[in-house]
């Protein structure tokens, strides 16, 4: 969708969950010597300037990263997350100086572990129109927040291949600027379905396909399932990580999406965090990740992280967090 700009949402609670899951998957992939491929189908701008008008319109980072930036437990459990954020700030400041990074952004049940079932997280709103950096972030020398392609680049090795795709011209230009000197990163202006058709199966037969649509239109949910089916036919051993929002009841399609992917009968892990109560008509109360062909013991790695994210981001009376192995590996 050419209208969607992730810069308005950078660093929110959904980004925190999504990127911590991504860090753990990248950790598992990099644990073996064999090279791997990562395909990011909805890459966005790559790095976001939290002092920009985009980010400060609603200050959604106050519902996410600002609340966990100094969390010692999470720094211990997923140090890569914090290391990549520090690296992105160093690189963005060096490469762009006072201009900063892009201010916008892109575009059978086996049971499981329920972390908690009862929160209203930090308000995702904020002071509209401010173009100055939030004081807590300024005190931590954090001005930029990386998107998924930057995490992938930073956690991959020279022998690995990273493909970052988007359909928004501004995001594409931002990605080119960030990764122009990174030989193992290839940037393309390419739609979601084309990415799967063109690149699967990859030459390096280990890999991750990271799928993160904006879900502004109902057909995007159907497209995710359709393209996932094609991807599994071409690259059945690949890891497919799919982000989804939990919206107001009248608009939410998260449960339907989960059920449709469950019917594919492939190993499936679900991680979901809702920071506030689900409203009836508008709003996003949370988000989740569906990981097809999830790496061994990923659920065990994620469990303490989900516990800490629930404690840090969600209201204990109205929020919830869950981690469920929906379909066990064969």
d(CA 309, CA 80): 16
9 φ, ψ to 5°?
A: -115, 0
Q: Which helix (H) or strand (E) holds 324?
A: strand 320-327
d(CA 49, CA 71): 22
User: Whose CA is closest to 210, among 247, 164, 179?
Assistant: 164
For the chain, the residue count is 330
- Residues that are catalytic: 212
Reduced to 3 states (helix: H, G, I; strand: E, B; else coil), residue 38 is strand
14 φ, ψ to 5°?
A: -65, -40
User: Whose CA is closest to 86, among 16, 150, 174?
Assistant: 150
Q: At what angle do helices 79-96 and 13-30 cross, to 10 degrees?
A: 100
d(CA 307, CA 323): 10
């Amino acid at each position: 969708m050419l209208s969607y700009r992730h810069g308005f949402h950078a660093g929110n609670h959904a980004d925190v969950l999504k990127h911590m899951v991504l860090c753990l998957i990248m950790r598992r992939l990099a644990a073996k010597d064999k090279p791997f491929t990562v395909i990011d189908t909805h890459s966005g701008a790559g790095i976001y300037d939290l002092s920009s008008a985009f980010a400060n319109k609603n200050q959604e980072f106050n519902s996410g990263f600002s609340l966990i930036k100094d969390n010692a437990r999470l720094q211990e459990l997923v140090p890569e997350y914090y290391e990549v954020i520090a690296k992105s700030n160093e690189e963005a400041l060096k490469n762009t100086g006072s201009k900063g990074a892009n201010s916008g952004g892109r575009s059978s049940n086996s049971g499981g572990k329920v972390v908690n079932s009862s929160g209203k997280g930090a308000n995702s709103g904020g002071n509209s129109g401010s173009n100055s950096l939030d004081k807590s972030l300024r005190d931590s020398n954090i001005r930029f927040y990386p998107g998924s392609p930057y995490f992938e680049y930073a956690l991959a090795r020279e022998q690995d291949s990273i493909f970052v795709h988007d359909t928004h011209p501004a995001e594409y230009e931002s990605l080119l600027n960030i990764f122009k000197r990174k030989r193992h990163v290839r940037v393309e202006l390419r739609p979601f379905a084309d990415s799967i058709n063109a690149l699967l199966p990859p030459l390096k037969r280990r890999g991750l396909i990271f799928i993160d649509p904006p879900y502004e239109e109902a057909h995007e949910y159907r497209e995710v399932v359709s393209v996932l089916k094609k991807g599994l036919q071409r690259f059945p051993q690949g890891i497919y990580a799919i982000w989804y929002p939990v919206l107001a009841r009248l608009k939410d399609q998260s449960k339907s999406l989960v059920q449709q992917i469950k019917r594919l009968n492939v190993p499936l892990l679900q991680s979901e965090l809702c920071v506030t109560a689900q409203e009836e008509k508008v709003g996003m109360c949370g988000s989740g990740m569906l990981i097809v062909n999830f790496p061994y013991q990923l659920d065990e790695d994620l469990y303490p992280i989900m516990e800490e994210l629930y404690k840090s981001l969600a209201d204990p009376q109205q929020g919830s967090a869950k981690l469920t192995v929906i379909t066990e590996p064969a």
